Amino acid sequence: MTFPIPTAILGASGYTGAELLRLLHAHPAFHIVALTGDSQAGKPIEAVYPHLRTRRLPALVKHTEVDFSSIQLVFCCLPHGTTQEIIAGLPGHVRIVDLSADFRLLDVAAYEQWYGHAHRAPALQKEAVYGLSEHYRAQIKTARLVANPGCYPTCSLLPLIPLIEEKAIAHDRIVINALSGISGAGRSAKQEMLFTELDGGVAAYGLGHHRHMAEIEQELQKAVSGAQQSPAGDRAEPIKISFTPHLVPMTRGMLATISMRLAKGVTVEDARATLAARYAGEPFVQVLATGSASTHQVRGTNQCFLSAHAGRLPDELILVSVIDNLVKGASGQALHNANLMFGLPETTHLELTAVFP
């Protein structure tokens, strides 16, 4: 590997793009050489993000203006749906971390069902590695295309996967309630995202049909299958989850509260110990011994803080998980994955302290 590594961000004018520019500032290996933003092409970055005026960064250009021959790493922050063809058109030597949902679902039929159109790059879909860093580390290291997980899936899967793999919980009635900061909705001008419409109130949305369900179920299913070492003839019901997201009047942060039953004979302490053991060496997942965390505690960082609690129902386990949706839930995990892909120490430039207060 020769350093620095020429890096491009596609779709740099959105919030995940801005967050990547924050996280990549002075990164020792990744050097930003191109920023695209088709509707903003020609503008300097400070016209789009005045807070970046002190940074030396290339101006925004159209995607078609970029010479990808010298670029080795691409972070793709384009909207869901438009990403497939663009990634399919990149030269083969370019390695990609895609922050959209386009390559997260292994099954193109599932993709079509949830996203409403046939997948436009099914061949690429096959080679994409799901970028949940702590659980796909080996594959990410050698992947050409990493499908960076959604924020809700990251926040939900980190506490659930180890417990499913260890058969510590029943997985027939997992109920996830999640709260998200508004930045998850992106930077497009929409009436329902105005300050005045959101300040001072909360609402649920996507009831019973949010697209992140598919992603969470896919990964939990893999955990179940791994746990069961299921023979080909396995006819177990595919896993389904209850998932209700809510928009909360804050800019950043995500919290998932997850209720389920413990497996027979397993205690809350066992579950906590399972999580603690699984994440003992992980730099970006902390399992709390007591209490639960607020999203303030991870604001601006790549951390996930987890906790396990006894619920009041018989055998009930409640897990609470917090992340910053723009960091661990998007751009921070993307950088973590890029670090892995390029053989860097994986915490490179990600040892952030929360911005509190």
27 binds a copy of itself (CB under 8 A): no
Question: Footprint of a copy of itself on residues 158-187 (CB under 8 A)?
Answer: 172-173, 175, 177, 179, 182-183, 185, 187
Among 88, 202, 236, 277, binds a copy of itself (CB under 8 A): 202
User: Using omega within 30 degrees of 0 as the cis cutoff, is the peptide bond preceding 357 cis?
Assistant: yes
Per-residue contact flags (x/-) with a copy of itself for residues 122 to 161, judged by CB under 8 A: ----------------------------------------
251 binds a copy of itself (CB under 8 A): yes
Among 1, 2, 39, 50, binds a copy of itself (CB under 8 A): 50
The CA-to-CA distance between both ends of the chain, in Å, stands at 40
Least distance in Å: CB of 75 to a copy of itself? 16
CB 28 within 8 A of CB 349: yes
Q: Which distant-in-sequence residues (6+ apart) come within 8 Å of 24 by Cβ? A: 7, 30, 32, 335, 349
Question: Footprint of a copy of itself on residues 337-356 (CB under 8 A)?
Answer: 351, 353-356
- Catalytic annotation on 151? yes
Among 99, 255, 340, 344, binds a copy of itself (CB under 8 A): 255
CB 164 within 8 A of CB 116: no
Distance CA 252, CA 183 (A): 6
Distance CA 293, CA 110 (A): 34
Question: Footprint of a copy of itself on residues 286-345 (CB under 8 A)?
Answer: 286, 288, 291-300, 303, 305, 309-314, 316, 318, 320, 322, 326
236 binds a copy of itself (CB under 8 A): no
Q: Is the dihedral of CA 104, 109, 114, 117 positive or negative?
A: positive
Give the DSSP H or E segment for 271: helix 268-278
Question: Footprint of a copy of itself on residues 75-94 (CB under 8 A)?
Answer: none
Q: How far is CA 277 from CA 156, 212, 233, in A?
A: 18, 27, 32
199 binds a copy of itself (CB under 8 A): yes
3 binds a copy of itself (CB under 8 A): no
How is the beta sheet containing 129-130 ordered, strand by strand? 60-61, 30-36, 5-10, 73-76, 95-98, 145-147, 129-130
Binding region for a copy of itself (CB under 8 A) out of 63-71, 97-105, 136-144, 243-251: 243-251
Q: Is the dihedral of CA 301, 303, 304, 307 positive or negative?
A: negative
Least distance in Å: CB of 113 to a copy of itself? 13
Least distance in Å: CB of 120 to a copy of itself? 27
Catalytic residues: 151
